[in-house]
Amino acid sequence: MKKLLLIILLFSLFSGCDLFRVNCDSYCDGNVLHDCEQSQGGIGSSDNWSERDCSKEGKVCTSTYSYPRCVYDPVKCDEGAVNFCTGNTVFNCESIRGNIYANQGETCSDGKVCVEISYNAECFEPVDECDPKPYPVCINNIISTCYEANGEFYATYNKDCKEEKCVELGDGNTDCLTPVDECDPEPYSVCINNKISSCYENDGDFYATYNKDCKEQACVEFENGNANCLTPVDECIPTEKDVCIENTVGRCYEIDDEFYLFIKNDCGKIDLHCLELEYDQAECVEEVDTCNDAAESICYEESVSKCVKSEETYYVDIITYCYSNECIYDPETKSAHCLSDEN
């Protein structure tokens, strides 16, 4: 019996296993982590115990996680920090079961340094000097955010303007713009290099952002302060409404003795016909064999539509689709509506 007890005692000492702990459960003893792993052997499983002194790593042992482990001492977390710097590494504060701990986060690299600003730590780019405003500024032709901490300046880079120029326009507006010789910043949009653009003036210099390239068309400025891409033509009849131009819905403009077409919709591309309707508008309509042109509106293929007769041909102008709802025609009012309109 004594020999058996001696064998059990020796096994306990050399395996690191606590004689009085029945299960293979890791646990903390002060700042020492006793870690247990089970391994399968030829005659069953065995418990392999190891010890890890968390204090040698600058950490503390805690069992408040799902399993015991070594974590960093969250002194700064207790002081109200969201995260903090240790060396050049960001540590994030985390609350678990009412206790606050610190977990290792990003290690700053590529010349960045870890800096704490207002209880927040982040990897920043060191810069010689910048203006720490609450809105983006230009640093090295990059839209950036500037910070100052302990007399030193740091930045986070948001967007590299590359071939364009970073410009601070005031009122917190900073953008990547293209320098131009001159333009008018008053209209909503202007034409620059045959592109619909926005013009800006800053300290006597002019800049533009290109919104749309008119390519084979011509960029034309209107008196209302808008610019648009139009198709130059030899001549057309200017109108104040959409008309049919061949089989397209469009409008003719005369600007500075030049004529242009704005094509709103090409009816031929969607297998429809352009028709100038009596109610002062041109639309793409579908040709049908017959329909009730005396009605205010009709039901046509799950849509509320208008029947139009031009010469001896009938057309349907779709007003609205009923989609999953049923189209209902009322003979008394000679009008149609979607069933959902009744609710």
- Binned at pLDDT 50, 70 and 90, residue 39 comes out as confident
- Binned at pLDDT 50, 70 and 90, residue 41 comes out as low
| pLDDT on residue 6 | 46
Question: pTM value?
Answer: 0.61
Q: Look at residue 180 and tell me whether its pLDDT is greater than 90.
A: yes
The residue that leads in pLDDT, 3 or 279, is 279
301-335 confidence digits (pLDDT tens): 889 999 999 889 999 999 999 988 899 999 999 99
57-105 confidence digits (pLDDT tens): 777 888 766 678 887 766 677 767 788 888 899 988 887 777 777 888 9
228-267 confidence digits (pLDDT tens): 999 999 988 898 889 998 899 999 999 999 999 999 999 9
**Residue type (1 letter), 55:** S
106-119 confidence digits (pLDDT tens): 999 999 999 998 87
Closest CA to 318 of 302, 304, 335: 304
